[in-house]
Structure 1
Amino acid sequence: MIKSANQYPVHTLFSHEGNVLYRIPPYQREYSWYKAQWENLFEDLIEADGAHFLGTIITLDQTTDTLEGNILHVVDGQQRLTTLTLLLAAVYSVLKEHIDELDDDTRTDVTNLGRQLVRKADQQPRVTPQKQGHNLFDYLKTLEDAGLPVEGEWKPYYPSRRIAKCYRYFRSAILKLAETEGLTETKAALRVHEAALRAVIVKIEVASHADAFVLFESLNNRGMPLSPVDLIKNHLLAESEKRQIMNVDQAFKHWNDMLTSLGDSYSTQERFLRHYYNAFKTELPDVPNASVATKSNLIRIYEKLLEQDLKKVVDALVEASKIYGRINCVVELDQPTSLDRAFQRLMRAQGAPSYVLLMWLMTKQEELELCDTQIEAVADRLTSFFVRRNLTGYPPTYALAKLFMTTIDAVSDARGDDVLKLVGEKLNAVSASDEEFRARLLGRIYEENTDVARFVLTTLAEDAMTKETKVDLWRQEKNHFVWTIEHILPQGENLPAAWQEMLGGKEVAAQVQEEHRHRLGNLTVTAYNSNLGNKSFIEKRDRRDSKGRYIGYKNGLSLNAELAARESWTADNIEARTKVLAERVIERFPLA
């Protein structure tokens, strides 16, 4: 079944001297990774102590003409390979922009990088996606935009699709790395370049498609490999019994108590273990070469901690997990306090990186002379910070752990309101300005970050509710939100005739749609908006459900009051509403 299975660094898989090409078979799905996965890859590469492990790919040798080169079909791993080459293309483009500043050896490295991405002999890309969803066209156009010697073709909505957005994300991430770390753009690009090329992949080569599918099914159905959380648990059980601190049953009960507070999500459990070390690092036994807990050093950190003071560490983890579970809203409370509602807002604003700070503050609450109202004020300030951060991308993800650890250090000697003041100063120092925040709010916010768009819109709607008009905009049915973002001017192609006529004809309507459809002013919140779709503005405004209740823009939300009174919807209307909503969002989520 398996012809070979070997571990290779990326620079070997994509050798500039090699003749290997990787092709994605037509039956594979289109490129589907999102921003969260791009962020994780970038963060993992630059944080790795050594060579970051990128996982396994399964390939099938489909070479028919040896003169053409070694053609490998990628049966599993196309998302990683495509993303990796887009990252390297972003590195290449940044270095090419500064080529005159580079020494001869580095210029040679840039030339070799180009040949790792595009074969010198015939200008074929090393990785060739399939055509579904314009993947191939978008990929070639992106490589061309990066300055590589391929001919691309621009297809409608190219900038809005994932391949182009992935490339732009990595270019932006490299430039932000330079800004954050005080590096030149070339040094930041070279740092990413080195980390990517030394990362390793296990390449499994099989003999036939049948073997490939059997192996693929086996690897994906036999269960997940042991996670760091599992390995830390096993080390706890083994060490506890070996050193006769607790028997296995007792140790397992402690561990389960911790997991009960944290819930079933592995990502929450793993994040808690990182956050616990980062929050209380100065009080824990010393772990050499571990200034901050990351995914790559987490196992080593807890092996060391448990070896030195197992019972004390486990007891502390159990107590801290109760606080962390409350911050993370693991249990839905029947009567949440005002503080619990603040935690809920922070969670919905994707503020999980700040839980390290809140866990420390709540653990030290009495010592710091903080009341719940003051902690609530911190949580609300963090919510504003993350609304801005998640839309602007600044500060970058990899800088957040250091930010909150230094914030803990800064407030450790403060008391009461001084804690709030110092937290605010630390956040303000790195937050996006009102000007940059406004620029993003005035742009295509739905493309930039759909979750932020939904959060700010629902918050504005909730702020205007009374007890009589209160509606749960976060209610779910079958794991989907009932209330979702609605594009007033539809976002889909084939705009109906009623819209074309309203906007001034087919060509003008298409231009208005392309420019304005994803802007804040064209977005609102409705329930069951699949019932609205591409309907005319009037139909959307007056739409009712089978029971006669309004589900269109007359649904009673303050956010829709203006829409409910309108007879038409044009580019000028979108522009005006965007400006108004942007100012309301800036006021609602202030810097201080």
Structure 2
Amino acid sequence: MIQSATQYPVRTLLDAQSNLTYVIPPYQREYSWQRGQWENLFQDLLEAEGQHFLGTIITLNNSTDTMNPRLELIDGQQRLTTLSILLAACYSVLVEHREQLDFDQNFGVQSLDRQLVIAGTKAPRLVLQTQGENRKDYHWMLHEAGLPVDEVESPYCGLRRIVRCFNHFRGAILELAEEPGDPDAPAMTPPEAAYRMMSAVNNAIIVKIEVSTASDAFTLFESLNNRGLPLSPVDLIKNQFLALSDARGEMDVQDAFTRWDGTLRNLGDSYNNHERFLRHYYNAFISELPPVANASVATKKNLIHIFETLFKSDLTGQINKLVQASALFGRIACTRKRPDPTRLDLAYQNLNRVQAAPSYVLLLWLEAHAEDKNLAERDLTIVTDMLVSFFARRNVTGYPATYVLPRMFMGIIKDSLDKEGAEVLRVIANALRRNSSDDETFRSRLEQDLYTENVDAARFVLTSLSEQGMTDENRKDLWERQSGKYVWTIEHILPQGENLPDAWTDMLGGPDAAAQAQAGYAHKLGNLTFSVYNSNLGNRGFLDKRDHRDTNGNFIGYRNGIPLNADLATKESWGPAEIQERTEHLVDRALTRFPLPHE
């Protein structure tokens, strides 16, 4: 039975004056959010107009202590944990610059202290589960942020997600101070940036549903996760368009629906692609569209307002332009397989794999203006290859921040309006080089634990390096999927799991040395490769992995012919020295494969 269902701002859920504790039950999975989700949360909060809605949490109230109530967090633990880490990052920046804070900001810091750690105790308000060292890492993170908790020793916590999330948010706050993301916004100091994000988190809204039994909690959890989706902004924009078509009589509803449906069919089935296209359409052609008040850039928040204005201004003209632009966008986003792909189509495919969706706005504008800008397919291919390198670097290093990218690409378009041909390419190259991570930073991040930092970036780098050595005779599609999963999966040569077999502990010099090797080297680039038979290799010893064959006698271990495995096929042992050597070799190749654009 539901006891209550009420929406609260986060500051109320984490009430500084209360003794309420949220406990994540031991059966819940460990903290699993990664950088892409951290970035999306940060950007959504940054762009929020008013109070940002963060969804629903489900809590179970089986506490009998009214003075120190405890709620079990059945659903929403990933969000609440991440929000608390973001608040801790804000706190750490604020206390480092305490001398710059005014009275209200100092009061906010004191309240923030008690939001995360219960007043008069050293007990965190959020009690994490113990698996994966989550609770120890969380305590260590709070201690490092300057909060009054007991220091807990947590070896290698910097390699795991909670502390990496904290460091990511700290970096994002400091970067926000340097680059507000809005050219019209005044520069901020670090504490101003931290205070802004703290306020955005505390003002965000969460619906808390409280139940009285575990059975009710799980029934409700299943119901919420299987409910029908509410109308999306894309649905609402479609309804506006159809209603306006009918009211004005410019086209009958069936014709209007056919045109709208044609737009979406060009974009494939993904809702994310539909919404992304509408944002990119406006951002790409903003100088050519009817003016929209208070919309210098399209965001999720103002998308409905933008298209309501555009349709009211020129209904028929806008839908015709949308249909044409969607066909171009569909090619860029690779929503349909082309029977005879050109070099440009293959470049677009690579761009999709490097997760470069923010750049589609630039390519959409270039595709639409290729003729009047004297740009051939070869020119667009050059631009796309530059963007692949830019995003390979960006996804490894996290620079520039996600929220900077829309205006960066819009700025490139603006600077190219009066250019053509080689001049356009020069504008793009200069902007990408100016906003790219330098070689030293790129190298440094590649040499760290890339797999735990960003598994998608690790896959793209490894795949790109392996494809360099492929020929028509030995080509393998490392991006092949079956039932939505990759056929070729990332394989840890030195296994990452516990309970290493004797073959590994003997090779590495005993259990303690093996544990140290795993902690320091398991997730480095040099310890990663691809296998189509990952489950068959598992925790086997290195020589067994190297020489393993299937029932037909075909090599399925490291002698499987994949170029990435060529150096492994002749190794007799595998440990920290070999991993470090291979890491340095692969990093050197990555810097060559993803160069900074030149003039």
TM over 0.5: yes
1:166 corresponding residue in structure 2? 165
Alignment-derived partner of residue 209 in structure 2: 204
AA in 2 matched with 1:442: E
Matches within 5 A, 1:43-122: 43-68=43-68, 70-122=69-121
How far the C-alpha of 1:207 sits from its partner, in A, is 4.6
Matching residue of 2:541: 536
| Residues 263, 325 of structure 1: 8 Å contact kept | yes
Is this contact kept in 2: 1:351–1:386, CA < 8 A?
A: yes
Equivalence map 1:7-26=2 (5 Å): 7-26=7-26
Aligned residue among 285, 302, 308 for 2:307: 302
Is 1:289 paired with 2:294? Answer: yes
Question: In structure 2, do the counterparts of structure 1 residues 448 and 78 end up closer, same or farther at CA, with 3 Å as the change threshold?
Answer: closer
1:316, CA displacement in angstroms?
0.9
Specify the alignment match of 1:405 in structure 2. Answer: 410
Distance 2:74 2:518 in 1: 38
- Give the structure 2 partner of residue 439 of structure 1: 444
SS of equivalent to 1:149: coil
Which of 491, 495, 498 is the equivalent residue of 2:500? 495
Moved more, 124-133 or 38-47: 124-133
Q: Which amino acid aligns with 1:149?
A: P
Q: 1:130 to 1:558 in 2, by over 3 A?
A: closer
Comparing 248-257 with 508-517, which one deviates more in the overlay? 508-517
Residue 32 of structure 1 is matched in structure 2 by 32
1:425 aligns to 2:430 (yes or no): yes
Alignment of 1:70-469 (within 5 A): 70-155=69-154, 157-181=156-180, 182-469=187-474
1:91 counterpart letter in structure 2: C
Q: 1:551 aligns with which of 547, 556, 560?
A: 556
Larger mean Cα displacement after TM superposition, 489-498 or 397-406: 489-498
Q: CA deviation at 1:78?
A: 2.2
CA distance in 2, matches of 1:536, 1:32: 28
- The alignment partner of 2:210 has SS state of strand
How many Å apart are 1:31 and its aligned residue? Answer: 2.9
Distance 1:39 1:311, change over 3 A: same
Distance 1:4 1:112 in 2: 26
542-551 vs 402-411, greater mean Cα deviation: 542-551
* Partner-residue secondary structure (3-state), 1:295: coil
Distance (Å, rounded) in 2 between the aligned partners of 1:448 and 1:71: 33
Structure 1 pair 106–299 and aligned structure 2 pair: CA distance change class (3 A): same
- Partner amino acid for 2:32? S
Alignment pair present for 1:583 and 2:588: yes
**TM-score, normalisation: structure 1:** 0.95
Q: Is the 8 A contact 1:137 1:152 kept in 2?
A: no
Q: Which amino acid aligns with 2:425?
A: L
The amino acid across from 1:41 in the alignment is L
Query: Which sits farther off after the overlay, 85-94 or 98-107?
Result: 98-107
Deviation sequence 1:359-385 (CA, Å, 0-9, x none) = 110011101100001000000000000
Identity %: 55
Name the SS for the 2:22 alignment partner. strand
Matched, 1:521 2:521: no
- How far the C-alpha of 1:209 sits from its partner, in A, is 4.2
Question: In 2, Cα distance between the equivalents of 1:310 and 1:280?
Answer: 16
The residue type paired with residue 301 of structure 1 is I
Rounded Cα–Cα distance in structure 2 between residues aligned with 1:226 and 1:453: 36
3-state SS of 1:22 partner: strand
CA-CA distance at 1:210 after TM superposition: 4.5
| 2:550/2:556 contact within 8 Å kept | yes
- Aligned mates of 1:221, 1:514 — CA distance in 2: 39
Instruction: Report if aligned partners of 1:138, 1:152 keep a CA contact under 8 Å in 2.
Output: no
Q: Which runs of 5+ in 1 are unaligned?
A: none
Query: Per-residue CA shift, 1:119-155, capped at 9, x if unaligned?
Result: 1033332222333444333322322222212225344
Q: CA deviation at 1:405?
A: 0.3
Counterpart residue number, 1:478: 483
Would the aligned equivalents of 1:142 and 1:152 in 2 still touch at CA under 8 Å? Answer: no
Q: Which runs of 5+ in 2 are unaligned?
A: 181-186
Give the Cα–Cα distance (whole angstroms) in 2 for the partners of residues 503 and 526 of structure 1: 23
Q: Return the offset for 1:84.
A: 1.0
Amino acid at match of 1:318: V
- Separation in structure 1 between the aligned mates of residue 424 and residue 350 of structure 2, nearest angstrom: 21
Matching residue's letter, 2:62: Q
Q: Deviations over 1:326-370 (max 9, x none)?
A: 111111223211110000111111111100100110011101100
Question: What SS does the aligned partner of 1:262 have?
Answer: coil
- Structure 1 residue 486, shift from structure 2 partner: 1.9
Partner of 2:183: none
Deviation at 1:33, TM superposition (A): 2.4
Q: Report SS of the residue matched to 1:539.
A: helix
CA distance in 2, matches of 1:236, 1:299: 11
Distance 1:435 1:124, change over 3 A: same
Matched residue type, 2:12: T
Q: Quote the Cα distance in structure 2 between the aligned partners of 1:202 and 1:581.
A: 47
Q: Secondary structure at the match of 2:63?
A: coil
Question: Shift of the alpha carbon at 1:234?
Answer: 1.2
Looking at structure 1, the residues matched to 94 and 564 of structure 2 have their Cα atoms a distance apart, in angstroms, of 46
Shift in CA distance, 200/230, structure 1 to aligned 2, threshold 3 Å? same
Greater CA deviation, 227-236 or 147-156?
A: 147-156
* Mapped partners of 2:571, 2:131: distance in 1: 40
Q: What is the root-mean-square deviation of aligned Cα atoms in Å?
A: 1.9
Distance 1:481 1:237 in 2: 40
Do 1:45 and 1:192's aligned partners in 2 also have CA atoms closer than 8 Å?
yes
User: Distance in 1 between the 2:49 and 2:486 partners?
Assistant: 40
TM-score, length of structure 2 as denominator length: 0.94
Question: Aligned in 2, Cα 1:146/1:291: closer, same or farther, shift over 3 Å?
Answer: same
How many residues are matched? Answer: 591
Q: 1:43 touches 1:397 (CA, 8 Å); kept in 2?
A: yes
Q: Distance in 2 between matches of 1:433 and 1:365?
A: 30
Assess if the C-alpha contact under 8 Å between 2:122 and 2:150 holds in 1: no
The 1-side partners of 2:256 and 2:457 are apart by 41
Residues in 1 aligned to 2:127 and 2:171: alpha-carbon distance in whole angstroms: 24
Cα distance in structure 2, aligned partners of 1:144 and 1:342: 47
**C-alpha distance in 1 between matches for 2:560 and 2:26:** 45
> What is the rounded CA distance, in whole Å, between the counterparts of 2:251 and 2:61 in structure 1?
54
Shifted more, 463-472 versus 433-442: the winner is: 463-472
1:475-516 CA distances to partner (integer Å, 9 max, x unpaired)? 122222222222222222222222222223332232222211
Matched letter for residue 44 of structure 1? D
Counterpart of 2:562, as a letter, is L
Q: Cα distance, 1:267 vs. partner?
A: 0.9
Per-residue deviation, 1:60: 3.7
**CA distance in 2: counterparts of 1:248 and 1:79, whole angstroms:** 44
